[in-house]
Structure 1
């Protein structure tokens, strides 16, 4: 029999707390799976950001600042999640790209794990949209192409971000955009603990992220989320959640997105808006399959990209299939009408001849 959950008051590490060679200075942010601190690296004498693994649904902090599960049955899940958090940190530490947050190290303490990252000066893209309003196309293209460069490096290493949204994109003081707060470990934990709806962000997560296992996701998953982020910047609202959009037929789902984007055609070029719409297709096979393919669509409107050809072919085949289906139905109706006419003629002949 499972133990009754022990309520542990969630709390952050206090200012001044010594964590190995780091001193906690303030709390930068909190989420369902972690707490991020601003800290001083006393060895290298620089400021860093430290993310603490803290899945609030299954754990909290005790009076001695150690992380404890709310009951014993969840301890293995905490260890399992912590291992994936550490694995994610080790993977990210291998990347040294201007558009990806730099991970310096990862270590275990207080029954949990900590990821040490570069501390960047600037604001999140979410905050920037609130402060400055709708960006122009040139500004969005600059931001988008930089993030695509970062994603290309990640995807080549078979790593997917899985949680791109305005709050997880940081704009440095020089205008460079960087990807923060990767969601791969959270996605794995969500699948294990059956809390996927708390892991994904409505409006920014594609359909396959709600109901597909991690191995069903790929570059097209990040492309959808980044497309949704740009959609938000253009329209002021995120797109309709993919779980609702998936109820529509293909053309209805496309039009639902395109009709909103088209309202801003005086401010943004049609080919740019079309590239964003392609990224938001409900069916992942209809999206650009790589960031290289999507970059081509964004950079050169004169190029008939693989995506455009694939979609055109798909649309043609769909229409051809519908046309063939209609023809078959028409031929069937004609055959039935002819048969009925013949039967009627036979009855008339018999009636006239014998009656």
Structure 2
């Protein structure tokens, strides 16, 4: 039968597509229910060996993500290998993605964005507690359920916490404008990267456009790494500091789930820090001295800390020829 996977899943209609693949609505003939199936696509530049390695990794990560259980996470049911590629079977959620909703109806009111933020923060915290990085949090990967609550979907490029985030070919997978700066600069990242994607997604919901929207995909990716996000115009007094904190370039200064929960009025005990080591890219966690802000793309993400300075956010002005004495140390 045409469009039949694993002699069980009958493909019906395309319900979404993106750079990493196509999402189908399908019918599970064994259990007589609708499902969503992500058809993962690979770059034509990959060799057969690289494709096989990617398929093996995708299946392993899908199995890992399938263990996540949370009402705000779309569960994974199955993984099928067809045409030498993985097809990820998930629960079918009737309705629209956040991207489709904003494009059709316009930006959300601040109160609705806060509701969205609470649901997605819970999903991300649960994912991290389960040891999984989503790596592609964006409006098209947020579904709005029939009760109006958001659900995080598409863990097709997820990675277990502690593993690298670049492919064997050196490519950074993800969506331009939503990829965290540290991933663009260094190719590796920890849980903080998902918080950046959350911030960019909430910004899109509040403003109706992404914070780093650009016609050119490469320019959009680097804009997120080197340019400040535009000041929110519609976010309001509660949401604006949340967006600013989540969109921090330096992952060491970015809001943690507990910080974001505080701003949202959620109990921080519901969002404990994931039991994982800190990412390798920031400076030593024991250093009490704050680090300087981003000057050039790589600076805040180097593993080697900068030499200590008395005032890391100040620079000593050069002596002026007209001065008879050097500036006072207290200046």
For the aligned pair, the TM-score class normalised by the smaller chain equals: 0.7 to 0.9
More helix by share: 1
SS in structure 1 of the partner of residue 132 of structure 2: coil
In 2: Cα distance, 1:336 partner to 1:210 partner: 42
Please tell me whether the aligned partners of residues 24 and 37 of structure 1 are also in contact (alpha carbons under 8 angstroms). yes
In 1: Cα distance, 2:177 partner to 2:102 partner: 17
Provide the aligned C-alpha RMSD in A.
Answer: 3.4
Match of 1:151 among 108, 124, 136: 124
Please tell me whether the aligned partners of residues 32 and 57 of structure 1 are also in contact (alpha carbons under 8 angstroms). no
Residue segments in structure 1 that go unaligned for 5+ positions in a row = 1-12, 60-73, 301-311, 338-355
Q: Is 1:184 aligned with 2:150?
A: no
Higher RCO, 1 or 2 (CA under 8 Å, sep at least 6)? 2
Please tell me whether the aligned partners of residues 291 and 313 of structure 2 are also in contact (alpha carbons under 8 angstroms). no
SS in structure 1 of the partner of residue 167 of structure 2: helix
Please tell me whether the aligned partners of residues 101 and 117 of structure 1 are also in contact (alpha carbons under 8 angstroms). yes
Offset from partner CA, 1:13-72 (integer Å, 9 cap, x none): 944x3532222222233334333222211111111112233314247xxxxxxxxxxxxx
Q: How many residues align?
A: 281
CA displacement at 1:108 relative to structure 2? 2.6
Q: Is 1:26 aligned with 2:17?
A: no
SS in structure 2 of the partner of residue 294 of structure 1: helix
Instruction: Label 1:299 to 1:319 Cα distance change in 2 as closer, same or farther (>3 A).
Output: farther
SS in structure 2 of the partner of residue 191 of structure 1: coil
Offset from partner CA, 1:117-153 (integer Å, 9 cap, x none): 1111010001111222121122111111011111111
Instruction: Label 1:322 to 1:164 Cα distance change in 2 as closer, same or farther (>3 A).
Output: closer
Aligned to 1:296: 262
Aligned to 2:184: 210
What are the equivalent positions in structure 2 for 1:193-342 lying under 5 Å apart?
193-196=169-172, 199-214=173-188, 217-240=189-212, 241=220, 243-244=222-223, 246-247=225-226, 253=228, 256-257=229-230, 260-261=231-232, 263-264=233-234, 268-288=235-255, 290-299=256-265, 320-321=311-312, 325-326=316-317, 329=319, 333-335=323-325
For the pair shown, the structure with the greater C-alpha radius of gyration is: 1
Please tell me whether the aligned partners of residues 72 and 122 of structure 2 are also in contact (alpha carbons under 8 angstroms). yes
Normalised by the length of structure 1, the TM-score is 0.69
CA displacement at 1:178 relative to structure 2? 0.9
In 2: Cα distance, 1:239 partner to 1:124 partner: 19
